[in-house]
Amino acid sequence: MTLDELQEIAESEREAQKKITHRINVSVAAGCLSLHSDVVFNILHEEVKKRGMEESCKVKAVGCMGLCAAGPLVRSEPQHTYYRGLPPDSPEVLSAIVDSINGRPVPEFALSPEIPFFAAQKRIVLENCGEIDPERIEDYIGVGGYQSLLTCIAKRSREDVVQEIIKSGLRGRGGGGYPTGLKWSMVAKAAGEQKYVICNADEGDPGAFMDRSVLESDPHRVLEGMAIAAYAVAATKGYIYCRAEYPLAVKRLKVAIRQAEKLGLLGKRIGESDFSFEVEVRIGAGAFVCGEETALIASVEGERGVPRPRPPFPAYSGLNHCPTLLNNVETFANIVPIVRNGAEWFASIGTDKSKGTKVFALVGDVVNTGLIEVPMGMKLRDLVYSLGGGIPDNKKFKAVQTGGPSGGCIPEQFLDMGVDYESLMSAGSIMGSGGMIVMDETACMVDVAKFFMDFTRDESCGKCIPCRVGTTQLHGMLERISEGKGRMEDLDTLERLGNMVKRTALCGLGQTAPNPVSSTVRYFRDEYVQHITNKTCAQGKCPCSKAPSTAAGK
């Protein structure tokens, strides 16, 4: 397939789409599917068919639209309306929706796209999510898909592509925030006949589902990004390391790879050039640590998935000791728009040191839980109160936990902070992969720290002593405090041991594991002290509060 042929397919797809005057997009990503959006889809489809409107009205299965709190989500155009929480067991409602497509939307379920949750987003990574059918490559090609790849291969040098990414200022979206272009140029310059590109889709943070949504909603975008990367660094083989807990993402990836290979957009001699790039999906077996790059590589090699010391970095010696480029799903999903619109365009979005947008999984105690994509630098307050719609039941905000188990809890005083890599770091947390858990005043921070420590303790691979035993000791100490058996010295020990684990653990998992503890001790010390001295949990979340307490009243 040449670039011209690709454009022909795109053109004919667009022509076909033009004939459709009405469209009803039904989200069939995992969140809505769990609320039986497939049933909603079938009924809507039947209703349209019954009315003989199939030619002009298309009911389409699409990916994630973001607002998980309102699933199953449906979007009706040109009505310019979202429908929220559609009952799969009520054909009358669904029938009424089809009836209304030319008039006013059914008010009980209608949701305006003008609400801040939708309107304040800037969708670059997610631009096709909820718009295209993830299982039809023609849909993707119709919105310009694979043009960037074929243009790069046909018209741009490898160095030129690397330079574009460097200039864009894109940083790794998996957590570390390492400059993506720099990584690419390291792999491009590394000596070696065989090079690899690996996509890290082992999203394991509790409460995070950014990558899953992208893979389920727009798998070709990730594949195209990987292929451009492969071209830029001269790799010929790629792997997507996806966790087994994401069967739908795996399925759609496999479908997408097959489709792209059939059209000559992946595999041998892409775009009828000399460039070949084959992609395989590798499925993780449920170990959180395999999201760490050296552990992931070991796992792809068929070894026990444990990290090894760096250097050597995978860019020089990675998979099978060959130069390996490893980026996360969201990073790869940013490549196509950068190549298409140019580095300057991308660099104009975001903050000084953090360019572009970031996808967040906004969860916890907010009205609008879901997936959002916003420019870097947006204030936490806007994320929580504007897009997030505030805290339910008029409760007070207490903290937001970012960065998953490696991150920290950010208190109210930082609400007006713009969210980017540096600011989160300075507040004692990290960007991480984009999990954002909002907690209201009823949250107990000792309990929260204990939850995350339990997670890292459980997921520690056990290779290095500080992480293996240190996380267990930290968790034990939190457990004792939560049982009302803590001592004041424990607070010092938490900090002393936490610092030691941060400094001495082998991999990023261990080095960040104490963050939830250290940030809560830093910002919510009073709560720890209260558990220790009063032997009670004011929020009633910890075991010590189950015993009769005298703290009532004040």
Binding flags for another protein, 467-506, as an x/- string (CB under 8 A): -xxxxxx--x----------------x--xx--x--xxxx
The site that binds another protein (CB under 8 A) totals a number of residues, namely: 31
Q: CA triplet 208, 212, 214: central angle to 5 degrees?
A: 115
Residue 103 in the binding site for another protein (CB under 8 A): no
Of 163 and 504, which has the nearer Cβ to another protein?
504
DSSP 327: E
Whole-number Å distance between alpha carbons of 505 and 295: 14
| Least Cβ distance, residue 506 to another protein (angstroms) | 6
Of 113 and 312, which has the nearer Cβ to another protein?
312
Residue 459 in the binding site for another protein (CB under 8 A): yes
Q: Which two tokens stand for residue 39?
A: 């049933």
| Least Cβ distance, residue 118 to another protein (angstroms) | 42
**Kind and range of the H or E run holding 294:** helix 293-300
Residue 463 in the binding site for another protein (CB under 8 A): yes
Stretch that binds another protein, among 105-113, 137-145, 313-321, 465-473 (CB under 8 A): 465-473
Cross-strand bridge partners of residue 238: 197, 279
Q: Residues near 15 by Cβ (< 8 Å), separated by ≥ 6?
A: none
| Least Cβ distance, residue 223 to another protein (angstroms) | 32
* Strand pairing report for 408-411 and 397-402: antiparallel
Of 281 and 532, which has the nearer Cβ to another protein?
532
| Least Cβ distance, residue 489 to another protein (angstroms) | 9
Q: For tokens 């889709």, what's the residue? A: 201
Whole-number Å distance between alpha carbons of 237 and 388: 41
| Least Cβ distance, residue 505 to another protein (angstroms) | 7
Identify the residue among 466, 484, 486, 516 touching another protein (CB under 8 A): 466
Of 225 and 314, which has the nearer Cβ to another protein?
314
Of 264 and 470, which has the nearer Cβ to another protein?
470
| Least Cβ distance, residue 461 to another protein (angstroms) | 5
Of 262, 185, 186, 269, which is closest to residue 227 (Cα–Cα)?
269
Of 103 and 302, which has the nearer Cβ to another protein?
302
Alpha-carbon separation of residue 498 from 292, 444, 464 (angstroms): 20, 20, 15
Residue 391 in the binding site for another protein (CB under 8 A): no
Residue 428 in the binding site for another protein (CB under 8 A): no
Of 416 and 489, which has the nearer Cβ to another protein?
489
Whole-number Å distance between alpha carbons of 262 and 249: 20
* Strand pairing report for 22-27 and 74-77: antiparallel
Of 468, 476, 506, which is closest to residue 494 (Cα–Cα)?
476
| Least Cβ distance, residue 185 to another protein (angstroms) | 21
Identify the residue among 464, 481, 532, 542 touching another protein (CB under 8 A): 464
Of 473 and 549, which has the nearer Cβ to another protein?
473
**Kind and range of the H or E run holding 278:** strand 278-284
My answer on whether omega of the bond before 548 falls inside 30° of 0, hence cis, is no
Site for another protein, residues 297 to 336, rule: CB under 8 A: 304, 308-309, 311
Type of residue found at 386: S
| Least Cβ distance, residue 406 to another protein (angstroms) | 16
Of 111 and 509, which has the nearer Cβ to another protein?
509
Q: Residue 104, exposed/middle/buried by CB under 10 A (0-12, 13-18, 19+)?
A: exposed
Of 304 and 525, which has the nearer Cβ to another protein?
304
Residue 540 in the binding site for another protein (CB under 8 A): no
Whole-number Å distance between alpha carbons of 193 and 195: 7
Q: Which two tokens stand for residue 434?
A: 């984009």
Q: For tokens 């938490």, what's the residue? A: 494
| Least Cβ distance, residue 58 to another protein (angstroms) | 48
Task: Kindly list the residues in this chain that would bind another protein in the complex (CB under 8 A).
Answer: 287, 289, 304, 308-309, 311, 457-466, 468-473, 476, 493, 496-497, 500, 503-506
